[in-house]
A and B are shown apart, each in its own frame.
Chain A
């Protein structure tokens, strides 16, 4: 490995830190809840290791407890995680090299959080950077799940419930500096947030759709309205 690769790996590890801080407590909550739902330690671990998508893992626990059929849970999961289709597509123009045998692994690591951190860096993305970022997040998610399963019950509730804010704080901290620099970013984020709020309040659609629709709506409007400034985002 040459020194450039090494510094990219290191940059990825550093960039992953806030995600790790956010993931561990949430994964612990998942482990704890999985145990309470009557799922074995091995299966709880496999949920995190194979699915690696927080919201849908929590949803699966909910639905299992409610006695919903597995086929329906799979369908709901598809719907909920389809947003990663948009994120995966959005990563492609940002990749430094379009062809790499590692892309299937990079794809596996796409989450809301790693995508948000990676795609707002304002530089071309390299495979070592992405893998270091994503797999630090992955292993903290796995570790947190097992930790929560084994000793989540002894943590005070005040600590557990205060951790729920961590990832939102991270999203805000990613968004604000960008929004400060560019009115376009503010408009995009505000439009999507407002649309999601509206759609979620109306409750017309399954919740997985609301997020996807809000993103498509805002980004679609952005693609049509902001023609001149495009360099600002690509740079």
Chain B
């Protein structure tokens, strides 16, 4: 049951990575998509990151009731959980909803209104022209969004922690600067790139093979988000298992 769509997905990816007809036009599309995916998602990523950091700090402080554990541990936990899990994974799930549904519905609408057929009649490799710029834009901008998310999450945690009195400014700074393992950041970037690829390619696949009308475009969009989220969580586990 899974092999037929998986085979179609791989064949689609093969067509996506075929040599572009004209790099100049693709370049323009890549920059356009970078603005749409990167800049367009900055607001939502900023909001969720600040609150994720704040909530993590407050809840960690609530659970660390023992006097034997220094308060600076809260900062360490926030830093590591933001880098390893919260920022890459939660951002990816949110982006699967925002970017994934947009990609699937955009390509799906082009399919049902024969715009993809028009591209093919002209001799243009439609998977390449429509999907490759989105993938390149996502794998370059989503890691940047994740870095911003880490920064904002730690900032949110700082304000929530100090404002609530859970820990002092000094404890927090000691926490986030002690025993930092740079490999966690590498794992975070690996996750961000893989999640970005999953979001765009899975959503584009759903959109590209849409058939019917407006109802089916909506269904493709929903399927794109659901499948992307499952694939993100599954690959999150695989990456953690392999790299840590």
A associates with B: no
Which residues of B are at the interface with A, using a C-beta cutoff of 8 A? none
